[in-house]
A and B are shown apart, each in its own frame.
Chain A
Amino acid sequence: MTGPAAWADATLAAILLAVDPDRLRGIVLRARPGPVRDRWLAWFRTLFPESVPFRRLPPGVGDERLLGGLDLAATLRAGRPVAERGVLAEADGGVLIVPMAERIPPPLAARLAAVLDRGEVVAERDGLALRHAARIALVLIDESAGEDERCPAALSERLALLADLTSVPLGEAALPDVNADTIARAQQRLRAVTVTDAAVEALCQTALALGIGSLRAPSLALSAARAAAALHGREEIGEEDLIAAGRLVLAPRATVLPAPTEEAEAPPDREPEDAAAPDRPPEGDDTEGLDPKALAEVVLTAAAAAVPPDLLSALAGAGPRRALGGGKAGAAKVSKLRGAPLAARPGLPRGGARLALLDTLRAAAPWQRLRQPAEAGGTRPHIAVRREDFRIRRYRERSETTTIFVVDASGSAALARLAEAKGAVELLLANCYVRRDRVALIAFRGRGAELLLPPTGSLVRARRLLAALPGGGGTPLAAGLEAAEALAEAVLRRGGTPVLVLLTDGRANVTLAGTGGREAAEAEALAAARRLAARRLAAVLIDTSTRPQAQAERVARAMGARYLPLPYADAAALSRAVKAVQPGQTPARAA
């Protein structure tokens, strides 16, 4: 799509959204900051009456501002809890502009999606059950630069329209002659527009041909086509309306290129004119029965021409489905946002501690009668809050556990037990998966240790690396322990909790300098082990030798690790042993 066509589509999208915000629900606008975007936004505002609220979502908005909460000033004045509306309720009947939409975290996306679905905001917080009408249209401004950043699918999925201003020069951005009155007239016609079966089929067929799985897309396209028909004064959805819907709703969602038809050429640019002259009298030639197949062909051709080129290049490398995903990245981020608030405790809100307003009021509540005995009779109610009532918020800093596997892949260990050790690690990996831990993998053999896998949540990767790990060579145990110590320190610095799982037979024979020599190597290994012990790190040593060796046990003792000889370590024992050293094994509520 070139500049003018993209601008024409973006303005038509704005007009359609203004005509039927309730059903089209919003628009994803790909646009960098700049005059083109400003022009579009300013003009979009003029399509709505003054009375319609336009709100901007503050970046990093918390639930309190978003959903509503307790109004501190009013609560203290009234002497009873007074709720304050959030941004969503304030935008009821209007538009919510969301800047930097590509950075919306999944929890926020889920809250917005719920509001879109229900037309109201429902929240249960701060001792209040909040319920406010919130019929809003969203304008998600996607400023993403790369391919891997996109608006959360949970949201873009629900919004009918997608437009792209990134390639529009300011000179091409001419504003169509449409205003709030034009929109109002179209709205009056909206309900009367009828839909033929052929139109529904054409949109469904087009969606399928473009590889669009979700059924929201054709539904939204139908609503867009209806809005277009109303705009042009047509009583029935016509071919042009379907084409507009195909371009604006379906094309940007395409995941495959449709099979080429005989006339795969782009249709002439008709849309800009349509948008510019919405009051043109109905042409009256679309009303006769249309063959759904032929119609679908026309819509598909038009939509295919509007499929963004960068999408196709992105598809070339990706698999057939989920190409538009981007949702996966959220999974890892979510857990970091999940704090565990603890019960508030008495204290003053200073030194970074935040006041737990509601808990403070709860603490003050039972004493009100005692504190203001004679003040009744006309004086306005207020709450007497005293120093001892103050409660502050506390959060349990849930530090993430990173299990560091340190695997001896030397000849002595490898030949005998490496395969079994790998099996043991796999069991432990599954265990880590269950508890959403991160894992890291260090191997040592030959002359030194190597960090094979930095801390990650991807256990599949850990397993693959492990399976491919070759064995053989000397046993630089000290180097392995040192690498483990360095990594554990890095984990601690990031606020995590490291747990070491060391698999070795303990027979060190290579020194830190990389030279042979059993005695020196063992001395170094024990020294390294004692340094680990000094750090009080949780650790397990799994002895991989065929028979339990004195050396391995000595190393375990030196590093303060639990010692577990592999011959006795069946799955259950292994998992118990590692669990036993991992923190946070008590249920969260008991903490």
Chain B
Amino acid sequence: MTPRPLFPFSAIVGQDEMKLALLIAAVDQTIGGVLVFGDRGTGKSTAVRALAALLPPMRVIAGCPYACAPEKPAGLCDVCRGGGKRHRAALVPVPVVDLPLGATEDRVVGALDIERALAQGVKAFEPGLLARAHRGFLYIDEVNLLEDHIVDLLLDVAASGENVVEREGLSIRHPARFVLVGSGNPEEGELRPQLLDRFGLSVEVATPTDLPTRVEVVRRRDAFERDPAGFAAAWAPEEAKLRRRIVAARRRLDDTTVPDAVIEQAARLCLSLGTDGLRGELTLVRAARAFAAFEGERVVAAPHLRRVAPPALRHRLRRNVLDETVATTRVERAIAEVFGA
């Protein structure tokens, strides 16, 4: 039996902030990942998996185990760099790699290819999930249940963009840059602060409470489950439209400017919230730029900043366990102060 087909991204009802955060990460992959936390049954996993199907295919060097980009000679892996021959390019789907719970370290970072070692006596490296996720997405459902030693690995690689493997007499390093997407339910346990901080954007999802929205969600879900292929076909034009918007936004991204006044507003917002370090500011500005590009603008303006401030900042507030004020409220209050709502 084939696995269940995917629900189309554009058919997801509501959950605008979650969808926007994912789209921003699709437009600017350097945004630092997306964390989706919240109620059960809100379509967290559905949205992440659907994003994969939405993205346009990417160009890779044919046969490269690490999906190197042909147009970027600087970031090539050892295999592609050597030889000096011309590379043939191929189009492949953007990888969205699931990091399943219970994954062992050797599968995450890669290890000696035991099959080849046993059959041929060859000491070859078998790339792991991090290699597979390069230039794509690494998705961890129930990220708060991930074992600590795997979290440590991820943090290390995500920070350096490179996976260094020293095991079983192998010594390998290869590029591993990916958008980390995590989802989870806070009731299952807290997320380690180091990991929390690593995510560029964080979204809180809640179940819609108004009847018409709920009816629409149930109706679409039902239509999809009854006839997945037909449902996908019906939504194909919407999906194509959204895909074109992402492509256009990516192209526009480098030319989208951020006026000094906007940067200053971003800084003031971060100052008034007391976020640690510059990562908050940087993410805020980057997300605003990606959002502006997605909206078809060439210049980032205050509304873009306001829209992305909650997902860019709410998880960066200095966490005071003892203060029960909800992070989102604090961000909104600061926005009102800075922008004078």
Which A residues fall within an 8 A CB radius of B?
23, 63, 67, 79-81, 92-93, 106-107, 110-111, 113-114, 117-120, 122-129, 133, 135, 153-154, 157, 191, 195, 197, 200-201, 203-205, 207-208, 213-219, 222-223, 322, 325, 327-328, 330-331, 334-335, 338-341, 343, 358, 361-363, 365-369, 383, 398, 426, 429-430, 433-434, 436, 459-460, 463, 587-589
Contact = CB atoms under 8 A, between A and B. Distances in A.
Interface stretch (B16-24, B56-64, B220-228, B237-245): B220-228
Contacts of B226: 191
B118 A201 contact: no
Given A119-B3, A204-B214, A325 B104 contact: no
B159 to A, nearest CB: 12
A123 B103 contact: yes
Q: Specify which of B119, B149, B192 lies most central, judged by the most chain A CB atoms within 10 Å of its CB.
A: B149
B114 A459 contact: no
9 contacts: A80-B115, A106-B145, A110-B141, A215-B218, A217-B41, A322-B187, A327-B187, A335-B189, A460-B322
Contact of B104 (A125, A208, A327): A125
A206 to B, nearest CB: 11
B283 interface: no
Contact of B3 (A120, A335, A338): A120
Contacts of A201: 211, 215
Contacts of A107: 101-102, 145
Given A114-B101, A208-B211, A362-B114, A157 B149 contact: no
Given A123-B103, A204-B214, A218-B218, A366 B121 contact: yes
Across the A-B interface, give the 5 residue pairs with the lowest CB-CB distance, nearest first.
A365-B117, A124-B107, A214-B41, A216-B41, A327-B187
Contact of B141 (A114, A343, A367, A430): A114
B256 to A, nearest CB: 36
B320 interface: yes
Contacts of B322: 426, 429-430, 459-460, 463
Given A197-B219, A201-B211, 20 more contacts: A67-B102, A128-B107, A153-B40, A154-B185, A191-B226, A200-B218, A204-B214, A215-B41, A327-B188, A330-B189, A334-B189, A361-B114, A366-B117, A366-B123, A368-B117, A433-B319, A433-B321, A460-B322, A463-B322, A589-B149
B114 A133 contact: no
B337 interface: no
A200 B215 contact: yes
A118 B321 CA distance: 36
Main SS at interface, chain A: helix
Contacts of A92: 1
A205 B213 CA distance: 11
Interface of B: 1-4, 39-42, 45, 98-108, 111-112, 114-115, 117-119, 121, 123, 126, 128-129, 141-142, 145, 147-149, 152-153, 156, 167-169, 185, 187-190, 192-193, 207-209, 211, 214-215, 217-219, 221-222, 225-226, 319-322
Contacts of A195: 222
Nearest to B1: A133
Contacts of A436: 190, 192
Contacts of A23: 225
Nearest to A216: B41
A122 B103 CA distance: 9
Given A123-B102, A125-B104, A463-B322, A80 B118 contact: yes
A154 B188 contact: yes
A361 B189 CA distance: 37
A127 B222 contact: no
Given A214-B41, A215-B42, A343-B167, A362 B218 contact: no
B32 to A, nearest CB: 20
Contacts of B123: 366
A508 to B, nearest CB: 32
A213 B205 CA distance: 12
A154 B149 contact: no
Contacts of A327: 185, 187-188
Contact of B114 (A135, A222, A328, A358): A358
Nearest to A326: B187
Given A111-B102, A203-B218, A219-B218, A153 B114 contact: no
A120 B45 CA distance: 15
Nearest to A121: B100
Contacts of A361: 114, 118
B210 to A, nearest CB: 9
A203 B42 CA distance: 17
A369 B116 CA distance: 12
A133 B3 CA distance: 7
Nearest to B193: A434
B187 A328 contact: yes
B214 A215 contact: yes
A258 to B, nearest CB: 14
A365 B168 CA distance: 11
Contacts of A153: 40, 187
Nearest to A201: B215
B188 A330 contact: yes
A72 to B, nearest CB: 13
A362 B168 contact: yes
B11 to A, nearest CB: 14
A357 to B, nearest CB: 11
A120 B202 CA distance: 28
Contacts of B208: 215
A203 to B, nearest CB: 7
Contact of B321 (A106, A328, A341, A459): A459
Contact of B40 (A126, A154, A197, A430): A154
Contact of B106 (A120, A127, A366): A127
Nearest to B226: A191
